[in-house]
A = this chain, B = another copy of it.
Amino acid sequence: MVNTISHIHCQNCSMAPLCLPKNLSEGDMARLDTIIQRHKPLHKKDLLVTADAPLRYLYAVRSGSLKSYTLDDHGVEQIIDFHLPGDLVGFDALATGRHRSFTQALETTMLCEIPLNSLDDLSAEMPVLRRELMSMMSSELYTSKQLLGSLNNRAADARLAHFLLGLSQRFADRGLSGKSFRLSMTRADIGNYIGLSVETISRILSRLQHENVLLVENKLVEILAMDRLERLAG
């Protein structure tokens, strides 16, 4: 019998509607599929890419999650991204041809590996793929700039609300519950990402729980009052 694990294709991947092949015709998708390879599963804390390493592949997250971070002058981690299934990892490295951050699994994570050379060739021939690539980068750019706007000049609870709503939206986009989900990152990771101390994250989660906006149990979060959370996020 054929091992099904070794035969994952874009055509039968549940993430396809969100991922790179989302707007491709059947034929185009099949062509893209031929260049895509599977990557061995990562365990929690495994590194996918290291800053400065040459960029050879873009990675598509199939399941699990990761964080990307840089190290500042003092070797302190600075988280710049969380990646969920359907996300592509590596766009920020295209300009230099080298990765500019570390990317580490937050839990057991499965990935597809897309060789850049082949992708570039394909994008010459497939206008839809080319536009999709541009579009995904553009979205990431927008999200990143939005984040800037919603962190600067905003109170701690607004930042955290924005973060939770962003996650909620992304889970919902993936066909999962946007109301009830698991945080694969620690409170410290969240604080690092949105510029707050762990204690502040913890306190605000507790407060929102008391105010019946959230229900928090360890890593599990349930949004009880989406409207109030949205009002908080501003």
**Residues in A lying within 8 Å of B, measured CB to CB:** 70, 72-74, 78-81, 91-95, 100-101, 120, 123-124, 127, 130-131, 133-142, 144-153, 192-195, 234
Q: Which of A93, A140, A149, A150 has the most CB of B within 10 A?
A: A149
- Asked whether B149 lies within 8 Å of A72 as measured between CB atoms, the reply is yes
A103 to B139, CA, bound (A): 18
Q: How far is the CB of A101 from chain B (nearest CB, A)?
A: 8
Q: Which of A124, A142, A192 has the most CB of B within 10 A?
A: A142
What are 17 inter-chain pairs, A to B, with CB distance below 8 A?
Answer: A72-B149, A73-B234, A78-B152, A79-B149, A80-B145, A120-B127, A120-B130, A120-B131, A133-B134, A134-B134, A134-B137, A137-B141, A144-B145, A151-B151, A151-B152, A151-B195, A152-B193
Question: Please, which residue of chain B has its CB at the minimum distance from the CB of A74?
Answer: B234
Q: How far is the CB of A113 from chain B (nearest CB, A)?
A: 19
Question: Please, which residue of chain B has its CB at the minimum distance from the CB of A123?
Answer: B130
Residues in chain B near residue A147, CB distance under 8 A = 148
- Asked whether A91 lies within 8 Å of B141 as measured between CB atoms, the reply is yes
Q: How far is the CB of A23 from chain B (nearest CB, A)?
A: 12
Question: Please, which residue of chain B has its CB at the minimum distance from the CB of A132?
Answer: B95
Question: Which of B92, B127, B136 is in CB contact (< 8 Å) with A142?
Answer: B92
Residues in chain B near residue A133, CB distance under 8 A = 134
Question: Please, which residue of chain B has its CB at the minimum distance from the CB of A90?
Answer: B138
A130 to B137, CA, bound (A): 13
Further 11 A-B residue pairs, CB within 8 A, beyond A73-B234, A92-B145: A78-B149, A78-B152, A78-B153, A81-B145, A95-B138, A120-B131, A123-B130, A134-B137, A137-B141, A141-B144, A151-B195
Q: How far is the CB of A35 from chain B (nearest CB, A)?
A: 17
- Asked whether B144 lies within 8 Å of A93 as measured between CB atoms, the reply is no
A40 to B127, CA, bound (A): 31
Question: Please, which residue of chain B has its CB at the minimum distance from the CB of A136?
Answer: B95
- Asked whether B148 lies within 8 Å of A95 as measured between CB atoms, the reply is no
Question: Please, which residue of chain B has its CB at the minimum distance from the CB of A121?
Answer: B127
